[in-house]
Amino acid sequence: MTDFTAPRLDHPPRPLAQRVGAILWPSFFAAGVATMVFFAFVDPLALRDLTFPQLQISRGLGYTLGFFTFWLATASSSLFTWILLRPASRFNRPLPPR
Amino acid sequence: MAKTQIPLNVLDTGGSAYVSERKVYPRDVSGPLNRLRVAAVIWLLGMYYVFPWLSWDGRQAVLFDLPARKFFVFGLTFWPQDFVFLAMLLMIAALALFFFTALAGRLWCGYACPQTVWTEVFLWMERAIEGDRHKRMKLDAGPWTRDKLLRKGAKHLVWLLFALWTGFTFVGFFTPIRDLAARAWPFQWGGWETFWVLFYALATWGNAGFLREQVCKYMCPYARFQSAMFDRNTLIIAYDPMRGEPRGPRKRGIASVLERARGLLDARTAYDYVFRAGKHPSAATQAAQAKGTITWDGDLGTVEPLPKFAPEELGDCIDCTICVQVCPTGIDIRNGLQYECIACGACIDACDEVMAKMGYPKGLIRYSTQNAIDGRSSRVLRPRIVLYGLILLGLAGGWAWGVSHRSPLIAEVLRDRNALYQQTGEHLVNGYTLKLVNKTDAAQAYRIRLEADPALRLRLTGEPLELRVPAGAVAAQAIEIDAPADVRGRHPVTLVVEAADGSARARLDSAFFGPIR
């Protein structure tokens, strides 16, 4: 008889270092590139004057904030991708024993 | 060099190593839960398609006017400065999702999610043109005849028209819809208007026509973190294996287990039957093509198939597999709660109908809690419900208070950045830019006064200064404060801005600078 159950494309959980690394490293790299390109065209001081002129933000702080903001965005995206790629077996689990 | 051979295995899948998703053909279903969903579809899509056409005070009732940087929602006008309310609204939405999920499972997915709602409408059209599940499967499997071409063509035509109307409505939320409609023929839409109409239409057509349950299974994060909000007291769609197992077809005339000697099984036996039936699906179950993703830990050894049961040993499940056939995500709910289940309740309606036909009590598949299925008592009021509820109430109350008590005036004062002070003969002058935003729908006059230490003899040039700002406009005014030449150092000053009719008032703190010594 034809087996209609979908083939099980499952993979055992990967080591924690690999999971964390696969999220943080590509996002770090992408954030670095984005920061470089962005600040090649935008001066942090000009950006400050447009947005929060009352705050004392130096160029260095502007670059730092920019990089970490980019990294937060890219890492969130990587984390989302990781969640979506987890196979069904990670979710369809028995209830924890009470 | 040692000869090493890399083990190679040729995939025997006929070309591609990817498995394409098997299409789900949800069977038509009727019942109270389906009526509830239809009501939700009509209500939600009704709001979507009708709201842009409503008027309020002579303008479009709901209009997100991006070029003017103003959102109109019925009587309310939101400015970019009100962004905090949008952020708060998103937090309220998230908390509401947590609250209702903890309470009653995935109500959102089953009844309110745009993916569900539009898929439902697309399914109605598909059903009307191609027929119900069986006919659609036959049509898809069959050769391209004239009838198939006509039916498929008609379906896509209707889908596309509906999708285009959806895209048009979407753009109508951002640009006045009556104007947009007037410019549709002869065609005078701008490039971006056209792009967004087509883009949204394409997204609707693709998501509701083709991707459907795959969006829920592979793209939706909510399905994947729902378990963080679930507990044993959460309402879920549950099959009662103690009553239903062992499943199997039977002749008419056997009463429900609730009404005969066999009664309910104990949980251990019942779950073992479910497990073994899952490992050795019956011909009927296989034909229903349920996608099983239930996994078991560890080595299960050989799983013995179930023996053939005598009719009086059978449970109430007649293995008709209608619950699988109606499922929009194509799972078998009898295997237990799965993350693919969007809690639409179609299987409940379908099973109740079958139970009624068999003369059995309803509820073999029902809204229940894990505790209730296990024969324990369920608790509605639990810490997380109370906590989510209180935070939700607090946020919603705060939001309503905040929106209704927004200041009708935004005032800012900025010191000129070019020079700390200018000295002109006997006087010291400091320059400022005063920015006033009149958020009301009427022109306003504002009076500006200076408050400072009287001993300094500071003076606002042109005092009493009055500034007129048109309705909903931003005005920037250069102002000057002058002082006798002997003022030294930094001194705090306050500008008081008052609406002439007393409706708004703002105090702005700044500083006056003289030479340091």
- Determine contact, residues B500/B463, Cβ cutoff 8 Å: no
Number of domains in chain B: 3
Question: For residue B22, what is the nearest residue in chain A, using CA coordinates?
Answer: A6
Q: How do strand B76-78 and strand B505-513 relate by DSSP bridges?
A: unpaired
Binned at pLDDT 50, 70 and 90, residue A5 comes out as very low
Tally the residues of chain A.
98
Judge if B223 and B279 occupy the same domain: no
Let me know the angle formed at the C-alpha of B202 by B196 and B206, rounded to the nearest 5 degrees: 150
Nearest to B224 among A6, A89, A91 (CB): A91
Q: Which of A1, A2, A3, A5 to mutate to test the interface with B (most CBs of B within 10 A)?
A: A5
A76 touching B, CB under 8 A?
Answer: no
What is the domain partition of chain A in residue ranges? 28-88
Distance between CA atoms of residues B361 and B375, nearest Å: 18
Judge if B284 and B416 occupy the same domain: no
Distance between CA atoms of residues B296 and B335, nearest Å: 12
Please list every residue in chain A whose beta carbon sits closer than 8 Å to the beta carbon of residue B227. Answer: 91
pLDDT at B361 (0 to 100): 95
In a domain, B423, yes or no: yes
Distance between CA atoms of residues B336 and B332, nearest Å: 8
pLDDT at B16 (0 to 100): 61
Judge if B201 and B269 occupy the same domain: no
The residue type of B460 is L
In a domain, B254, yes or no: yes
Distance between CA atoms of residues A88 and B291, nearest Å: 11
Q: What do you get for the CA distance between the two ends of chain B, in Å?
A: 87
In a domain, B187, yes or no: yes
pLDDT at B299 (0 to 100): 72
pLDDT at B303 (0 to 100): 86
Judge if B484 and B455 occupy the same domain: yes
What order of strands is seen across the sheet that includes strand B70-73? Answer: B62-65, B70-73, B76-78
What order of strands is seen across the sheet that includes strand B490-499? Answer: B465-469, B444-451, B490-499, B505-513
Judge if B98 and B244 occupy the same domain: no
| Reduced 3-state DSSP string for B404-473 | HCCCCEEEEEEECCCCCCEEECCEEEEEEEEEEEECCCCCEEEEEEEECCHHHCCEECCCCEEEEECCCC
> How high is the ipTM of this complex?
0.79
A5 touching B, CB under 8 A?
Answer: yes
Judge if B219 and B271 occupy the same domain: no
pLDDT at B10 (0 to 100): 61
DSSP state of B112: I
Judge if B429 and B351 occupy the same domain: no
For the stretch B177-198, pLDDT in tens is 999 999 998 999 999 999 999 9
- Determine contact, residues B350/B327, Cβ cutoff 8 Å: no
Those residues whose C-beta lies under 8 Å from the C-beta of residue A69, and which sit 6 or more positions away, are: none
Judge if B218 and B240 occupy the same domain: no
In a domain, B14, yes or no: no
Phi, psi of B511 (to 5 degrees): -140, 150
pLDDT at A2 (0 to 100): 43
- Determine contact, residues B27/B326, Cβ cutoff 8 Å: yes
Q: What is the pLDDT along chain B (517 residues), one digit of tens a residue?
A: 556 677 666 655 555 666 677 889 999 999 999 999 999 999 999 999 999 999 998 889 999 999 888 899 998 889 888 889 999 999 999 999 999 999 999 999 999 999 999 999 999 999 999 999 999 999 999 999 999 999 999 999 999 999 999 999 999 999 999 999 999 989 999 999 999 999 999 999 999 999 999 999 999 999 888 888 999 999 999 999 999 999 999 988 889 999 988 899 999 999 999 989 988 888 888 888 887 667 777 677 888 899 999 998 999 999 999 999 999 999 999 998 899 999 999 999 999 999 999 999 999 999 999 999 988 999 999 999 999 999 999 999 999 999 998 888 989 898 887 788 888 888 889 999 999 988 888 889 999 999 888 888 888 888 778 899 998 888 998 999 988 888 888 889 999 999 988 888 899 999 898 888 6
pLDDT at B387 (0 to 100): 95
pLDDT at B471 (0 to 100): 86
- What's the domain range around B499? 409-513
Judge if B172 and B255 occupy the same domain: no
Closest CA of chain A from B67, distance in Å: 19
Contact between chains at B294 and A83 (C-beta distance less than 8 A): no
In a domain, B394, yes or no: no
pLDDT at B501 (0 to 100): 86
A·B CB contacts under 8 A? 54
Judge if B56 and B156 occupy the same domain: yes
Please list every residue in chain B whose beta carbon sits closer than 8 Å to the beta carbon of residue A88. Answer: 217, 293, 295, 338-340
Judge if B241 and B223 occupy the same domain: no
What does the radius of gyration of chain B's CA atoms come to, in whole angstroms? 34
For the stretch A35-89, pLDDT in tens is 999 999 999 999 988 888 778 889 999 999 999 999 999 999 999 999 999 888 8
Distance between CA atoms of residues B114 and B486, nearest Å: 69
Contact between chains at B339 and A89 (C-beta distance less than 8 A): no
Phi, psi of B56 (to 5 degrees): -145, 120
Contact between chains at B225 and A80 (C-beta distance less than 8 A): no
A9 touching B, CB under 8 A?
Answer: yes
Judge if B239 and B302 occupy the same domain: yes
